Amino acid sequence: MVKNNVTRMLESQGIPFQSFEIPAEKLSALEAADFLGVDPVLVYKTIVATRSATTKPVLALVSAPREVDLKALARALGEKRVYLASQKQAEQLTGLQTGGISPLALLKHNFQVVVDDTAYALEEIYISGGQRGLNIRLPTDELIKLTNAKIAAISR
């Protein structure tokens, strides 16, 4: 089993999770779901967006088959507009490789996290484990508590 700061943090807090090794190249959330043999609806991708007023990025979590609705995300944040970060920007802002960006790896960096409201219907979801090649399944409510996430309808 792969150990990293995310898995150690989950263990230290007694949060039930299961980690899964997947190919270390950048996989889309749909490809990760296929590799894991799970319904893509259960696999959430982390999208990095920037605000218009400040440069503080936002992490938006949406289900693999869906895409983030930037207008809905802006409304949820009380912003006029938000912008999708490019792959290069996302890596610079988070310090993580795309395909491995996880809100759990960024807890100490005070990123605002918004989870699509579709997650509410799910007991557990899969998210990146903070590095390419690692996916984690954990209870949705634990993820929301840990990240102090806002829940909003932000996908289409």
> What is the fold, at CATH topology level, of the domain defined by 5-152?
YbaK protein (3.90.960)
Q: What is the pLDDT of residue 55?
A: 66
CA 124, CA 136: separation in Å to the nearest integer? Answer: 10
Contact status, residue 57 vs residue 92, Cβ threshold 8 Å: no
For the chain, the structural domain boundaries read 5-152
Q: What is the pLDDT of residue 54?
A: 66
Q: What is the pLDDT of residue 110?
A: 84
* pLDDT by position in tens, the chain (length 156): 778 999 999 999 999 999 999 998 888 999 999 999 999 999 999 999 998 766 679 999 999 999 999 999 999 999 999 999 999 999 999 999 999 999 999 999 989 999 999 999 999 999 999 999 999 999 999 999 999 999 999 999
Q: What is the pLDDT of residue 53?
A: 64
Q: What is the pLDDT of residue 26?
A: 83
